[in-house]
Chain A
Amino acid sequence: MTPPVAESLQAHLRVGDKLPPQKFGPFDLPHLARYAEVSGDSNPIHLDAGLARQAGLAAPPVQGMLLMSAFAPALAVWRPDLALQRLSAKFLRPVLAGDSINVSGRVVDVGGGRVTLRLMAHNEQREIVVLGEAVLGEAVLGEAI
């Protein structure tokens, strides 16, 4: 007999469990242009080096949403049996075109059939560039997103 979802999660996950680091990128300018196309993000600062300089950046910044979008596949690799339900992110520092990020995380709460993780993305200088939080559950949403 399959144990209830809440029991199953609490039996297999603990506060402090880690989401293993995963690298995404490098995000080059052609990738930023393709993401702008598929996301509808027409903010020219991501593609125009001159405009980026006016905003005080040495190169166009990677779209924050492109960075945030790395969390979902990282979580899916970690626990393909769980469905992502909530995801939030704060963009702390710009990631410039050509750079990569490392995504990692840690379980901060398990209960009620859900697991909450604190997520981080670091740049190549090991600075935190995106801080996030994810809530995953089992089967509540049907198929994993």
Chain B
Amino acid sequence: MLAERPLGTFTVRATAAQATAFAHETGNPEQGVPFTFPVRWLARPDFLAAAVEMIGDANWVPIHESQSFDYRAPLAVETDYAMTVTMQRETEPSRIILLANVGPAGGAPLLDMEMMLRIVPLPAGQAA
């Protein structure tokens, strides 16, 4: 079963300090926005809340199953972009999928991302 919910469009930006810190921890060149940095923009409490609502339970942990980035052009630091995100819910097996595209507001996307999370239930009362 698949359910889908648009989460909206959000302004995102990589500051130079954020990009440099990310590059340092991942061994990437400290130049521009690191290739996988935009995953940071998917780590939002309201996205987690939407997942809890779609799953109907908070007693689980997400396990990252797969991830993709498809760029048409690199992103620049200290630049505002519009990120549009949709959340999908699969039940067999239990998954949450985030689909996002990032680009200049009103312009063509420069990046498509997909994040697939396997939902692993925890024993009752052990919410992460």
Query: Chain A interface (Cβ within 8 Å of chain B)?
Result: 24, 31, 34-35, 37-45, 51, 54-55, 63-66, 68-70, 72-73, 76, 83-91, 141-145
Tell me the smallest distance from the CB of B103 to a CB of chain A, in Å.
14
* Docked-complex contact A38 and B122, CB < 8 angstroms: no
Chain B residue with Cβ nearest A50: B126
Majority secondary structure, A binding face = mixed
CB–CB A73/B29 < 8 A? yes
User: Within the assembled complex, what's the spacing in Å between the Cα atoms of A76 and B63?
Assistant: 28
Flag if A64 contacts B67 (CB, 8 Å). Answer: yes
| B62 close to A35 (CB less than 8 A) | no
Min Cβ gap B115→A in Å is 9
The number of residues on chain B lying at the interface, defined by a beta carbon within 8 Å of a beta carbon of chain A, is 38
Closest B residue, CB atoms, query A72:
B35
- The answer on a CB contact under 8 Å between A54 and B123 is yes
Q: Which residues of A contact B68 (CB under 8 A)?
A: 86-89
Point out the residue from A44, A54, A90 that lies within 8 Å of B66, measured CB to CB: A90
